[in-house]
Amino acid sequence: MPAVLVTPASTTDRDAARILPPRARSRFGRLTRVWADGGYTGHLVDWSAAQLGVVLDIVRRSDDTRGFEVLPRRWVVDRSFAWCLCSRRLVRDYERRTDTSEGVVLWSMTMLMSRRLAARHQQRLAPRAGEAA
- Under a CB-based contact definition with an 8 Å cutoff, are residues 39 and 13 in contact? yes
> Would you say the C-alpha torsion 97, 101, 104, 106 has a positive or negative sign?
negative
Query: Is pTM, for the whole model, over 0.85?
Result: no
At residue 3, the pLDDT reads: 80
- Under a CB-based contact definition with an 8 Å cutoff, are residues 20 and 52 in contact? no
- Distance, in Å, from the CA atom of 75 to the CA atom of 12, rounded to the nearest integer, reads 22
Note down pLDDT in tens along the chain; length 133 residues. 778 888 888 888 888 888 888 888 888 888 888 888 877 888 888 988 998 888 988 887 777 778 877 777 777 777 877 888 877 777 777 778 888 888 888 888 888 889 888 888 777 777 766 665 5
- Distance, in Å, from the CA atom of 32 to the CA atom of 108, rounded to the nearest integer, reads 26
| Residue 25: closest CA among 49, 4, 3 | 3
| Residue 61: closest CA among 38, 92, 81 | 38
